């Protein structure tokens, strides 16, 4: 077997083009504009860059981007309340809570509060379990 070098940038561009085509088809055929909610708690510089890029790519693909930037001192209860509102929002089809969270928050509790159907990262315990057992899931 011969090794093959993969051009990551070219591959990523192909994926972005496919996603944009699927989004356009959803809009044309069903009147649905997918929405991604990204939640950032705190001021971690690397997380800020990731969230900014994710928002830009979401818009470039023709989707709606909902960014929620919260201060580091936000309570876990307030974050969980936001996640519940996003779960119930029909305009939001996917939720990404940027990790790491501040030390006073239980990341597992926050991730598992996300509806498995809207869990973009696939970190919800149900999605991890389905993936681990080879069952069909969104992951």
Which of these is catalytic: 14, 48, 98, 118? 98
DSSP character string of 52-98:
HHHHHHHHHTT-EEEEEEE-TT--HHHHHHHHHHHHH-TT--EEEEP
Which of these is catalytic: 9, 27, 54, 103? 54
User: Is residue 98 annotated as part of the catalytic site, yes or no?
Assistant: yes
User: Is residue 64 annotated as part of the catalytic site, yes or no?
Assistant: no
User: Is residue 121 annotated as part of the catalytic site, yes or no?
Assistant: yes
For 10, the enclosing helix (H) or strand (E) is helix 8-30
Which of these is catalytic: 44, 57, 89, 121? 121
Question: What CA–CA distance (Å, rounded) separates 139 from 137?
Answer: 5
**Residues catalogued as catalytic:** 54, 98, 121
């Amino acid at each position: 077997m011969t090794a093959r070098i993969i051009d990551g940038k070219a591959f990523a561009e192909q994926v972005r083009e496919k996603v944009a085509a699927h989004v356009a088809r959803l809009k044309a055929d069903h009147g649905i504009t997918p929405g991604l909610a990204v939640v950032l708690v705190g001021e971690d510089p690397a997380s800020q860059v990731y969230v900014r890029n994710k928002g830009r790519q979401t818009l470039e693909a023709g989707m709606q981007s909902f960014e929620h930037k919260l201060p580091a001192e936000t309570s876990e209860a307030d974050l969980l309340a936001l996640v519940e509102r996003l779960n119930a929002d029909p305009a939001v089809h996917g939720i990404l809570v940027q990790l790491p969270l501040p030390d006073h928050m239980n990341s597992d509790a926050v991730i598992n509060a996300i509806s498995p159907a809207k869990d973009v990262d696939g970190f919800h315990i149900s999605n991890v379990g389905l993936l681990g057992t080879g069952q069909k899931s969104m992951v």
